[in-house]
Structures are given as C-alpha cells and as structure tokens.
C-alpha cells in the first residue's frame, strides 16, 4: 500500500502485530494530507512504526499530524514509534519536545521494539 504526492510519499507494510511505514520527501502544508491519510488508514496494531529517515523537512503541520497519530494510536491501545529521523527532522522533534512524547528510535533499536 502506498500514499503519494509529487514531493512526498509513504509506503506501508502491514504485519500481524506491527504496521511499518516509510515516509520520503517533505512534510509541509501542501503534503501533510498524504501523511495524515496514511496514518489514519493504518489498521489498528499494537505498534505503528514510522521510518522518517527519508524525510528532509517536517513543518508544524507535520508535527501536528504526528501528535494526532500518537493520540489515535494510544486510544486504540497501540503505540507510535518514530524511527531514524534525518538530522533536520530530529532537530524539529527535539526543539518541539515531541521526542519526549513520542518514542524515537534508531533503526536497529526499533526492530527490537
């Protein structure tokens, strides 16, 4: 399954206990709808893992989408984990304090989660 725009896309793989998403491109006001749609379309599983290693830009709209997805995952009895954010995205997560709310893991650590 894949959600796509010209500047951003999300690839989704669904397993028994985990939904794996890999986002690539820029998340801004023009593309956040693609991210939001992918996150909302994900079936309920104990773990939703979002790989951000291919994301070059995360705007405030993207941060809001991640907060909403985190809340939705928790309400459904699951957990959202952000994996391998690119340096610029990791900085946004740190500056906004989102890295203290949503778990952020390195790829090797996330596989064990």
- Condensed to tens digits (0 to 9), the pLDDT of residues 19-78 reads 999 999 999 999 999 999 999 999 999 999 999 999 999 999 999 999 999 999 999 999
End-to-end CA, the chain: 23
Q: Tell me the β-bridge partners of 12.
A: 21
pTM score? 0.89
Alpha-carbon distance of 66 to 36, in angstroms, equals 8
- 78: which 2 tokens? 């699951």
């Amino acid at each position: 399954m894949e959600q796509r725009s010209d500047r951003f896309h999300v690839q989704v793989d669904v397993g028994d206990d985990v939904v794996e998403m890999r986002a690539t491109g820029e998340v801004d006001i023009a593309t956040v709808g693609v991210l939001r749609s992918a996150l909302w379309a994900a079936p309920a599983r104990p773990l939703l893992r979002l790989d951000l290693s291919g994301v070059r830009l995360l705007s405030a709209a993207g941060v809001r989408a991640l907060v909403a997805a985190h809340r939705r995952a928790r309400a459904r009895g699951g957990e959202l984990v952000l994996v391998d954010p690119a340096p610029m995205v990791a900085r946004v997560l740190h500056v906004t304090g989102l890295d203290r709310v949503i778990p952020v893991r390195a790829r090797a650590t996330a596989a064990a989660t």
